[in-house]
Amino acid sequence: MAKYIGKRLIYMVITLALIATFTFFLMKILPGSPVASADKLSPEQRAVVEARYGLDKPLPVQYFDYMFGLVQGDLGISINQFKGADVTDVILSRMGPSAQIGFQGMVLGTVLGILLGMIAALRQNTWVDYTSTFVAIVGISIPSFVFASLLQYWFGLKWDLFPVALWNDGFMSSVLPSVALAMFPLATAARFIRTEMIEVLGSDYITLAKAKGASGSEIAFKHAFRNALIPLITVLGPMAVAILTGSLVVEQIFAIPGIGEQFVKSIMVNDFAIIMGTTIFFSVFLIVIILLVDILYGVIDPRIRLSGGKN
């Protein structure tokens, strides 16, 4: 197991280096520069600014400078979005709200989705099942920003239950964005669990469990649930991605001072260091999630105990 994780860590570093390289050169290919928008600057002033951020050096030098900094954990400094602030500090200070709504959304979505899927499977072809399927279809087909606007309108404006936007009311501010983010994981989990539960409930070992005298709930929770979870783990990775990309938009809509909101703005103003830093931060996050998912597989399904050691 330790050997396996070690191997995976090495792969993770390689993946990250590749992502950083690609993003770096893609950014450089794109037209425009962080200082391009500042029309008021004279050519001399612009040269001074470019020199200050190392933008005047040849591209390979800029690349190696950046990668060297990255290895030391230095993501550079913001050029124009947060003028001169350390990128790492910017990201860390913005992480709180994002992590909160992302985590709440993920947990809410998967837990509700699993419940919904379980109930649907156990009450197959009844109105409960049809309702659950409908919710799942709605959750997958309606984009999170549309859903977010609807939530704002009904729960924020009409019924005045939660703040419409802004991050100034603690937990209450986080409710609507979390719900908006939860829709996709909820729908995905419900669909996967329903299909898998129905399949598992028809399998031989469930019949054997029944033949042992197990009751309906024992069969559902002790025997079927764990087996039905396995395919859901597969989509946990994509779900985390959905939460991330969802948060880019949802944070904008709810005016949450999170990473997503700051990322979108940094792209608009072409703040090279912030874009790079956030991309790398997101990448690390995703790669770690994928590793956790792979480890979780082995925990839930003994047949997929990871290589690198017996049992």
Residues found near other proteins in the complex (CB under 8 A): 203-205, 207-216, 222-223, 226-227, 300-303
Closer residue to other proteins (CB): 60 or 213:
213
Comparing CB distances to other proteins, the nearer of 28 and 212 is 212
Distance CA 311, CA 291 (A): 19
Neighbouring C-beta atoms of residue 69, cutoff 10 Å = 14
Q: Write down the least CB distance from residue 122 to other proteins, Å.
A: 13
Cβ nearer to other proteins, comparing 127 with 159: 127
Nearer to other proteins, 255 or 306 (CB): 306
* Residue 25 in tokens: 């050169």
> How many angstroms separate the Cα of 159 from the Cα of each of 153, 156, 162, 194?
9, 6, 8, 33
Name which of 73 and 302 has its Cβ closer to other proteins. Answer: 302
Are 193 and 118 contacting, i.e. CB atoms less than 8 angstroms apart? yes
* HEC readout, 169-190: CCHHHHHHHHHHHHHHHHHHHH
Give the shortest CB-146-to-other proteins separation in angstroms: 38
> Residue 190 CB, nearest distance to other proteins (Å)?
21
In angstroms, give the least distance from the CB of 214 to other proteins: 7
Pairwise CA distance, residues 69 & 280, whole Å: 13
By C-alpha distance, which of 27, 73, 25 is closest to 266?
27
Query: Nearer to other proteins by C-beta: 37 or 126?
Result: 126
Nearest distance in Å: CB 300, other proteins: 7
Residue with tokens 């996709």: 184
Q: How far is the CB of 240 from other proteins (least distance, A)?
A: 24
Distances (CA, A) of 30 to 26, 82, 89, 248: 6, 21, 26, 21
